[in-house]
Structures are given as C-alpha cells and as structure tokens.
Structure 1
C-alpha cells in the first residue's frame, strides 16, 4: 500500500515539474529522448545516481516505446502500454495514456499555483 502511494506521489511530482522544462528546453514534441529527459531532470536538481527510479518513471511517461524497451524498463515498470495507462489512471482517473499536451497543461497549472502570491499564506492558514 505504501509503495503504491509513493509511486503515485513520484509520478505526480514528475508530471508537475518536468514537462515545462522539456517544453522550454527542447520545444513542443509528442515524445522526448532519454537524453533530453536526463537534461530536464538535471536542471531540476535530480541526481541520476541517487534516484534512478525518478528517471525511470520520467522515461516511461515521456519517451517512446522503443526507448522504454531499449532501457529495459519492463522489468521495473511493467509493459509500456500498461504503465502509460496506469499513469493516466493515477493522474486523471482515466485508463488512457496521457498526451504530452496534457502533461504540459498539468505542469503549467502547477507552476501557476506555486508562483501565485497568496499560495503560501493559504497553506499556512489551513495548517498544511
């Protein structure tokens, strides 16, 4: 149970942070290469040697199936299509893979909330 919660939290974090960096660094694409994903995660301060699972989830979310298989992620994350549907279910409660433009929107909305002036005050007053 705890493992599923941790996995969902990590996937949500990746969906909120990484797509805007990919978009600004590499342009509007439907998929990104593992090298581009590596660079985006490095820009966000992630260290591949310390958190390989963060990188693996990002590859599974933003790379194509050929890259997924080349990186041998099936052992870690399961079948590519199944993982894509699992992410859709976790983030949007739909058993469908998520289009990159939806990831861009999730990330943009997260950035807008994080940057809004009243965001911290609202959280503090709620005791969160």
Structure 2
C-alpha cells in the first residue's frame, strides 16, 4: 500500500491577510517580513508574506518604514476600528439597511445583545 501524500489546505480569500494583520496587531513592535512569516506560518513562502504585506500597504491598512534593506510593518488601525469600518461598508452596500441590521441584531448572543443595548443607551445619554 502506498502512503497518501498530505496536501496542505489552502486558505480562503482574505484569510491570509487577516492572519498577517492579526500577527501585526499582536506584536509589541513593528515587524519585518521574516517576523510576520514566523508568526503566521514558518512554512509559508517568504515571497507570499511579502506580497500580502505589500497588498495591505497599498490598501492603507499597514504602514512601513525602511530599515536598511528591509521594511518594518505596523498596522494603521486596530482590529476593532477596522472591523467597525468593514461593518459600516457592508451596511452601505446592502439594498435594505434596516433588514441587515435586524438580521444582525437577532443573530447576536444574549450577552452581545445586552452589550449592544448598553452601548446604545450610553450613546443616547451623551447626545
């Protein structure tokens, strides 16, 4: 019997960008491409990580500073800020904003729904 070769699973669209951003968010300092490669997946090709970082830079999600022949990368926004912006973008694209909000709200866990109610109550008080 022949052993079957292990085929590595491929990441979904945007998943690698998310993993790279998570590595940058979790770092206490700006990271090099090699640092990100090590944090995400040592077996991932260096050039792949470099390409992802370049794409994130072009999208304005990370900044980079030259240090000799290499670049140091850091995120421009925190995870929470980026998630909120993405949620707003999805709401703007939807044909029925009210329906999207209703489906979102009804899908929340009780704990998340309570947190959202508290934040909305606080927002009302500040107005």
TM-score above 0.5, yes or no: no
- Structure with the higher strand share, 1 or 2: 2
The structure with higher relative contact order (CA 8 Å, sep 6+) is 1
TM-score by length of 2: 0.34
TM-score by length of 1: 0.34
Structure of larger gyration radius = 2
